[in-house]
A and B are shown apart, each in its own frame.
Chain A
């Protein structure tokens, strides 16, 4: 017969070789495993609250019934005692005795109890109690057992001292006793029901918690086992557990993207650096065998050194990007004016643009005070200008501009080149990404990666758009947004 009980929070089987993480060792001093279960603790809290509510309900019920009857009895006795006291003041002891007999003669409920005795001799003068109870010596108000109609029942009595006389006024509490008996019986039965429902409720709470936590547990265990594609199943209720599952899934997606990026970078490094290293090695090897004279050998060695310098620069760029992305350079932030930095970059690349027959237009307002890393921003703007000059044909124009807004400074570099296809723009910040149209152009594919990392380091963004929308050669306009503090 299959087991149809709800699944326990048992961890799924892990692949061979993968060890399950151990959160705590269970030793002699460690609490039992059940006590460490959050589901069990929630269940205990539920049971405790349910029981407390039931106890409070019983207390209120008791106060409202048996308690009310007690208060009513005491009030009747007190009123009767006061009235008899008045009667004594109006007349004498004989008048009081007659009043008691009158009261007993019309006591249709058969619950009144009186006893009037002389203080000195304790001789009974009136009433329906055969003797003075011993408890009456200790206190004014008391309960005692009396024999009534052949049964021992509880009676509530009040002692009143009068000059030369002692008076007891009371009521038979048979009804109260019956009510208390009924209530006690009811409470005992209800307690059983309360315990039953508290246990069932606690079990349900624990089972529901386990059932709702199970998808997250299964997924995390699967990921710990190496299946990174696993995601937490949503129940569709859009409650706290679904929100937790969504957050977990978003986190896992993000981790997946980062890992894919790391994997892509590793692949790209292996692929993109293998070619220039192989090229440098080939040149050196060829020169070793075929160089005619020392001069030719020296030229090839210099060329090899230049190739290795390029490789070193790529590594340096990768390190800078990693530093910027990790935020390690944030400690070097300081206030400075961005305008001279941009002017320096423009001046630096002006000669390069002129050599290619291009024009570099620089439009900068004065001043552009901000807080950030001056060197990284210079490197980022230099990378944008380098890209723009590289892709702008002879006779074209490269424009470097900056503007100060209320919340941010924007630095834009626009060119007359072929532009960047919209589908490539989202990949432009990835390391070693080269658009198809730029394969023939020299470059490492790290320039925009650094610009994007610098923008993120400063809490800003990099926007890529057409410089001349709709034109045959739309060009590319890179806008670096740098928020002001």
Chain B
């Protein structure tokens, strides 16, 4: 009997909790640490002429490899270095 009461009480509570969680949007999210951003950054490096030379070339390759291995943060950092290097080179 007690178990039945617990079940009958817990159901509405669970529903309320789900509703509250759904209505809470949470903090705004920074999207520049996602695999999608990794791809867009790789595409940006690829079209830069200077990125075909070292060290941009190898940095970009390492970045793409890290993103593909599930390390988007490290991959994005490498790709950013590649972009920077490509901008600095003549």
Question: How far, in angstroms, from A192 to B83 measured CA to CA in the complex?
Answer: 50
Checking A108, A145, A152 against B80 with a beta-carbon cut-off of 8 angstroms, the contacting residue is: A108
A144:B33 contact, CB within 8 angstroms: no
- How many residues on the B side are at the interface (Cβ–Cβ under 8 A)? 21
Q: 22 interchain pairs (CB within 8 A)?
A: A105-B44, A105-B79, A106-B84, A107-B80, A108-B84, A110-B77, A113-B30, A128-B31, A128-B37, A129-B28, A129-B30, A130-B29, A130-B30, A130-B31, A133-B28, A146-B28, A147-B29, A148-B30, A148-B33, A149-B33, A152-B27, A172-B30
Among residues of B, the one whose C-beta sits closest to the C-beta of A104 is: B32
CB B82 to nearest CB in A, in angstroms, measures 9
**A113 partner residues in chain B, CB cutoff 8 A:** 30
| A139-156 with Cβ < 8 A to chain B | 144-149, 152
**Given A106-B84, A110-B76: A146 in contact with B27 (beta carbons within 8 A):** yes
**Which B residue sits closest to A145, measured CB to CB?**
B27
Residues of A within 8 A of B73 (CB): 110, 149
What residues of chain A lie closer than 8 Å to B80, measured between beta carbons?
Answer: 105-108, 110
Given contacts A107-B80, A129-B31, A132-B28, 16 further A-B contacts (CB under 8 A): A105-B83, A106-B80, A106-B83, A106-B84, A107-B32, A110-B76, A110-B77, A128-B31, A129-B30, A130-B29, A130-B30, A131-B25, A145-B27, A146-B28, A146-B29, A147-B26
Within 8 A of A (CB), among B1-49: 25-33, 37, 41, 44
Please, how many residues of chain A have a CB less than 8 angstroms from a CB on the other chain? 22
Q: Is the interface of B mostly helix, strand, loop or mixed?
A: helix
A:159-197 near B, CB below 8 Å: 172
B28: shortest Cβ distance to chain A, in Å? 5
Q: Is B65's beta carbon under 8 Å from chain A?
A: no
B43 to chain A, nearest CB (A): 11
Chain B residue nearest to A101 (CB atoms) is B44
How far is the CB of A156 from the nearest CB of chain B, in Å? 13
Query: In the bound complex, what is the Cα–Cα distance between A128 and B32 (angstroms)?
Result: 5
Write the residues of chain B forming the contact surface with A, with a CB cutoff of 8 angstroms. 25-33, 37, 41, 44, 73, 76-77, 79-81, 83-84, 87
CA distance A439 to B48 in the complex (A): 132
Q: Which residues of B contact A133 (CB under 8 A)?
A: 28
B67 CB, min distance to chain A CBs, angstroms: 14
Contact of A147 among B30, B44, B76 (CB under 8 A): B30
How far in angstroms is the closest Cβ of chain B from A192?
Answer: 34
Known: A108-B77, A110-B77. Is A129-B87 also a contact (CB below 8 A)? Answer: no
Is the CB–CB distance between B28 and A131 below 8 Å?
yes
| Interface residue ranges of A354-372 to B (CB < 8 Å) | none
Q: Which residues of B contact A108 (CB under 8 A)?
A: 77, 80-81, 84
Q: How far is the CA of A29 from the CA of B85 in the complex (A)?
A: 81
Residues of A within 8 A of B44 (CB): 101, 105
Q: How far is the CA of A146 from the CA of B30 in the complex (A)?
A: 7
